[in-house]
A and B are shown apart, each in its own frame.
Chain A
Amino acid sequence: MAAYDVNGSAVEHDEEGYITNLSEWSKDLADVIAAAEEVNMTDEHWAVVNFLRDYYEEYQIAPAVRVLIKAIKKSLGPDVGNNKYMYELFPYGPAKQACKIAGLPKPTGCV
């Protein structure tokens, strides 16, 4: 199985790049995954990633993209919580790509 290299230690991921053991996540790992996804992590990226991790902690699911954007709009305001801006941050899909970087499973309802 393929793995990310985080400062010399291997973190396994599935064929799509989602890590297999959720407890192995770290901020350093997030940077490694982001680099593999060609995403340059800014404060806004981190805000979304942290939001996803909090959501997962509370509800035990990764939210669908529609739910994510609505919730981000509520917590971070409409300048961040809109489709256009979220897709600028995560071009391959805010839920899919941000969940991968956040070390969460693929969002429910994503194929």
Chain B
Amino acid sequence: MSEQVKKFLYVNRKAPYGTIYAQESLEVVLIGAAFDQDVSMAFLDDGVFQLTKGQDTKGIGLKNFSATFRALGDYEVTKLYVEKESLDERGLTLDDLQNIEYEDEDDDYAEKPSIRLVSRAEMADVMAEQDVVLSF
């Protein structure tokens, strides 16, 4: 790559179903990951529900795309920032979220967690260091 690598952050604030934002965001992330940029995702407000485990969409006739988050490691998207306050406000903890891992090629393919719990203040820092922030 001759061009400079930019830092992209995709911010997810909405619940997974009901609107198309969550699924579209994930789709854009997967497409964007093909361009060798530094891609990460942030989950705050109702967006934290996107990562919950045990989702069942049979009753609403929509595709359960939550499994796709576990493929992000294959696309080298390995930083999923989750805001602690948003979890707290919804009575959720890390245990309510899916186990999402990636293989670290620089560390003998060791499996490492992709989800990084950050405080609201830390989330602001994460956003401040990006070149591009896209909100969904």
> Hey, which chain A residues are within 8 Å of B27, CB to CB?
108
Given A64-B75, A70-B74, A71-B74, A59:B30 Cβ within 8 A: no
Cβ distance A8 to chain B, nearest Cβ, rounded Å: 31
Q: Which of A59, A108, A109 contacts B70 (CB 8 A)?
A: A59
Tally inter-chain residue pairs, CB-CB below 8 A: 33
> Hey, which chain B residues are within 8 Å of A63, CB to CB?
71, 74
> Hey, which chain B residues are within 8 Å of A67, CB to CB?
71, 74-75
A64 touches B70 (CB 8 A): no
A66 touches B34 (CB 8 A): yes
A60 touches B65 (CB 8 A): yes
Given A67-B75, A71-B74, A61:B31 Cβ within 8 A: no
CA distance A55 to B27 in the complex (A): 16
Tally B residues with Cβ within 8 Å of A. 13
Q: Which of A55, A64, A71 contacts B34 (CB 8 A)?
A: A64
Cβ distance A69 to chain B, nearest Cβ, rounded Å: 11
Encoded as 1 (CB less than 8 Å from any A CB) or 0, chain B from 65 to 92 comes to 1011011001100000000000000000
Chain A residues near B (Cβ < 8 Å): 55, 58-61, 63-64, 66-67, 70-71, 108-109
22 residue pairs from A and B, CB less than 8 Å apart: A55-B71, A58-B70, A58-B71, A59-B67, A59-B68, A59-B71, A60-B64, A60-B68, A61-B30, A61-B68, A61-B71, A64-B30, A64-B75, A66-B34, A67-B71, A67-B74, A67-B75, A70-B74, A71-B74, A108-B30, A109-B30, A109-B34
* A-B contact sample (16 more), CB < 8 A, given A58-B71, A63-B74: A58-B70, A59-B67, A59-B68, A59-B70, A59-B71, A60-B64, A60-B65, A60-B67, A61-B30, A61-B71, A63-B71, A66-B34, A67-B71, A71-B74, A108-B31, A109-B31
